[in-house]
Structure 1
Amino acid sequence: MEGRGKRVQDEGSGWRVEERVFRIQGRRWRVERRRIEGRGYRIPDTGQRMESRAKGIHDTGYRAEDGGWRVGGAEYRIQGRGWKVGGRGYRIQGRGWRAEGNEYRVPDTSVILECVSTHSIPKDNKLLLFLMDGFRWDYFDRQEIDLPGFRRMMREGARAEYLIPDFPSLSYPNYYSIMTGLHCEDHGMVGNYMFDTKHNESFLIGVNKAQYNSYWWDDGEPLWVTAEKQGKRSYFYSWPGCEVTIRGVDPTYCKKYPTFTYPKLEDMQEAIKEGLQLFSNDSADVVGIYVELPDKYGHKYGPSSTQLNQKLMEIDNEMGKLLDELESHDLRDKVNIMIFSDHGMTEVNETRVINITDYVEVEDIRVVLDAGANVYIWPNEGKLNKVYADLVAMDNPHLTVLKKADIPDRWFYRNHYRTSPILLVAKNGWYITTPLLPRFHTYYGSGPMQGTHGFDNNEIDMRGIFLASGPDISRNVVVKGFANIHIYQMMCDVLGIEPNENDGQWKDVAGVLTHTYDDVSSAILNVTNLALLILTTLISLVRESL
């Protein structure tokens, strides 16, 4: 918009501004100079009218207060000399607008419209989360086991056909992708084991204290931080990362992951019991419970094992009891449940091993981390090309060797400084061993590992689950599979909080919630938002002319 709105044109989106003639074409709205009557403006066909120097809008719930405007039904406020959309919508401050990324501002008149969200539905419902580590997408459909609790939840809620993990399909990267709505290259949690060249530190889960330093986590904002910042109370049980102060914020309560063991079924039962009590006495807004059993039994005994099937049925029994308890506590219409997993699981064995030890010179390598589906290598200075060439010379059809610059765009993994200079990825079902970890993983007392994950996130076996039920969730609905980065925005929505910047898109989760939204991550405003934009500009022009 030049000067005072002489000419703005956008043929594709169907609107233009010329000589103070404002027109949205093809979408019912039309504002033209000939429709400006006296000192008031009218938008035909909508029943909205601004009159008397924009002092009142009749029959629409808008009213003038203290020199500004308030839209009663939708929490829109015009304060002082500008607009503000309260709650979780748009804010316009000043008097003009122009487009800058997700902000819109008109130069020379200084009005800012922040495209925060198109949502303005006030909510005060609770949220109960279950992160079920390693729960593969097709476990629900096994003929050899009965899962009546999960089936009941599906009838009363919504289910995705599958959940696509972020790459790599490992735990910590996907814990954080789910809880931040960001890809790994954005939130920086790029592996279960990481090396940070800026701090010269390693992240080794369950091993070193450095993993609790906030710099590993601060590139993303997990749900509990978003919630706490906006006055919500969050309680998390054995949830990885909840014990870390992230961006200066802690959850209201975090029960740390147990030392020298892992959360058992009894821990899940106790967490559910405490969570229901917290909801009943209104002490918590969101409760998160981490369940590791599917992952532990999938690794140890394999994804097709009878031992895993038994644990799935035990977990299912707790889900059935949970639904009964919610009803007995009069919470069924107040608590939304979301259940999701970080990744799936595939079978492995000692006959499918890729040993890189004989093909690399240890003195050429500064750091090598992890084994299995992925290996990360930081060569010594000047040795990158040599190490890469040595690995490529293996000519192993089950191994992909990538320099950082060659990592595929579709993985959303390349563009973070923690991503290693050389990345090794095994073909699904194969296992990489290294000079640091030269043997196939074996469990004490039960033998070699039978299942693992971390492979290309396009692999079917790497898919996880998403299941939800509650007052804000559609009933008896199955939606197409979607990426796990889209969950964060839904969690924020049912809690009634404004999400932090994220990679999620509403169109990918259409049908899960009882209400639908436009895609907030796009820069395209819907008709209502365009109308608000035009009205704002009109008011600015009127004030300039008075």
Structure 2
Amino acid sequence: MKCNLISYILYFVILQDFKFVNTSKLIVLLVDGFRWDYLDAPDLQLVGFSRLMNTGTRAEWLVPAFPTNSLPNYKSLETGLYVESHGVVGNFIYDSKYGDKLEYMLDNDSKWWTEKDSFFVTAERQGIRTGLFNMGGCYLHFNGVNVTYCLPYQDASTVKESQDATMDAVRRIHNGDIDIAYILHADVDVVGHSSGPGSLQLKQAIKDTDDLIANVLDYLETNKLSDVDMIVVSDHGMASVNETNIIDLNNVLDMDDIDEILESGSVAQIWPKIGRETKIYESLKGFHEHLKVYNRKDILERWFFKQHKFIPPIFVTADSNWCIIHPTSGNHKGTRTIHTFSANHGFDNNDKDMRGVFLASGPDFKQGYTTSPVSIVDVYQLICHVTGIKPMPNNGTWARVESMLKEHHLEL
């Protein structure tokens, strides 16, 4: 009886300690610029995506964080935080206190990446091994932590290089080298910008992505990797931009009044010289009917984009399908000539064209299930839940994602 009682107590303690802990491995494929309705293009026969949807779960769409650009949304995905809470406020960032600038993913100063821990940093602190593939700054020290494996970001990587990186990630999962693989696939975004959402070139990029997903699923099935979940998520969508829809701030801004101006296309961030803020604001306010102009204090609350030191004193954003240019457009590292784009993002996250995708499949997710729209800040909770990471405080809403998950029963 005494032995049975001790066994019962030990069983109860173990159950309490582990009943909420999953040990699945995870592949997170971040497909940059994949718009929500690309999945339903009538003339595309998508095999990989269809398999994911049939064997897993899908959100109707994903709502990105604002601004709907890449780096802010990468960080919101990785932390579950809105932009004003994690500090990666744009693809280009200016620290007016020190005069420092982040220019897209080509900067190796860890100050831009480490204000809030991404899931892979938290995982490494908890003994869960992570690999980052084609990710900017993955080789950095994150407040004393390094990821287990890093394949650094390659600007304009080829489709084959992206496919090779993805399959390398899956093999490392299989070999037990890492527990989580986080992969950036950028081709859909690059082609979307250059050729537009309805182009033949974009359809090919979607098909290439579909083939990549099918290859991953084939590998998992062939090697019977039944403990691996896969999440496919995008950071934002894409909107067509007419080449005549130009908002030219060169006609109204005097660079003698400005310390710094960053970003162009859908948004621009402006730091006036001391005493010039009112002049700049008033000159912009009525300049163009498709330009919205904000003093920092008046930026919309629903964007969660005003309470951070890196957000500029004056912020402007274009209506969808319009393009902002200004005196320093394209002068920064990692930029292309923005007004030659056929399409762009960065617009209001309420815009339908900015919606992204979320799909997931594997042992932790329901099969053939569609849920209501999710926010990009919600995905962090799922990443943590299925891999056993103890999450950091975040802005996600568990009620929006919990229905995707199967009910698990602990087996001892």
Q: What is the TM-score normalised by the length of structure 2?
A: 0.93
| Partner Cα distance (2:217, 2:328) in 1 | 47
Over the residues paired in the alignment, what is the CA RMSD in angstroms? Answer: 2.2
How far did 1:220 drift?
A: 1.4
| Partner Cα distance (1:206, 1:172) in 2 | 8
Amino acid at match of 1:388: Y
How far did 1:275 drift?
A: 2.2
Maintained 8 Å contact 2:33/2:188: yes
Amino acid at match of 1:466: F
The yes-or-no answer on 1:345 pairing with 2:231 is no
Q: Give the aligned partner of residue 452 of structure 1.
A: 344
Maintained 8 Å contact 1:300/1:443: no
How far did 1:360 drift?
A: 2.1
Match of 1:218 among 110, 114, 122: 114
Q: Give the aligned partner of residue 289 of structure 1.
A: 183
Q: Give the aligned partner of residue 299 of structure 1.
A: 193
| Partner Cα distance (1:127, 1:438) in 2 | 37
Q: 1:361 to 1:143 in 2, by over 3 A?
A: same
Q: Give the aligned partner of residue 71 of structure 1.
A: 13
| Partner Cα distance (1:175, 1:433) in 2 | 25
How far did 1:59 drift?
A: 12
The Cα offsets for residues 206-260 of structure 1, whole Å up to 9 and x where unpaired, read as: 55xxx322221222111110110000111111023323322221211111112xx
Structure 2 stretches of 5 or more lacking a match? none
Maintained 8 Å contact 1:173/1:190: yes
Q: Give the aligned partner of residue 383 of structure 2.
A: 491
Match of 1:507 among 399, 404, 410: 399
The Cα offsets for residues 462-506 of structure 1, whole Å up to 9 and x where unpaired, read as: 010101000011110011111100111110111112011111110
Kindly indicate whether structure 1 or structure 2 has the higher relative contact order, using CA contacts under 8 Å at least 6 residues apart: 2
DSSP 3-state at the match of 1:212: coil
Maintained 8 Å contact 1:472/1:494: yes
| Partner Cα distance (1:407, 1:273) in 2 | 43
Maintained 8 Å contact 2:131/2:147: yes
The Cα offsets for residues 1-46 of structure 1, whole Å up to 9 and x where unpaired, read as: xxxxxxxxxxxxxxxxxxxxxxxxxxxxxxxxxxxxxxxxxxxxxx
Q: 1:172 to 1:443 in 2, by over 3 A?
A: closer
Q: 1:141 to 1:60 in 2, by over 3 A?
A: farther
The Cα offsets for residues 101-120 of structure 1, whole Å up to 9 and x where unpaired, read as: xxxxxxxxxxxxxxxxxxx4
Q: 1:175 to 1:128 in 2, by over 3 A?
A: same
| Partner Cα distance (2:152, 2:15) in 1 | 43
DSSP 3-state at the match of 1:400: strand
* Matched-pair identity in %: 37
Q: Give the aligned partner of residue 242 of structure 1.
A: 138
Structure 1 stretches of 5 or more lacking a match? 1-57, 65-69, 76-86, 88-119, 517-546
| Partner Cα distance (1:197, 1:246) in 2 | 23
The Cα offsets for residues 422-443 of structure 1, whole Å up to 9 and x where unpaired, read as: 000000110011111289xx97
Higher helix share: 2
How far did 1:123 drift?
A: 2.0
Q: Give the aligned partner of residue 271 of structure 2.
A: 378
DSSP 3-state at the match of 1:511: helix
DSSP 3-state at the match of 2:236: coil
The yes-or-no answer on 1:232 pairing with 2:174 is no
Q: Give the aligned partner of residue 359 of structure 2.
A: 467
Q: Give the aligned partner of residue 53 of structure 1.
A: none
The Cα offsets for residues 243-281 of structure 1, whole Å up to 9 and x where unpaired, read as: 3322221211111112xx422221232223322322222
Amino acid at match of 1:323: L
Maintained 8 Å contact 2:77/2:380: yes
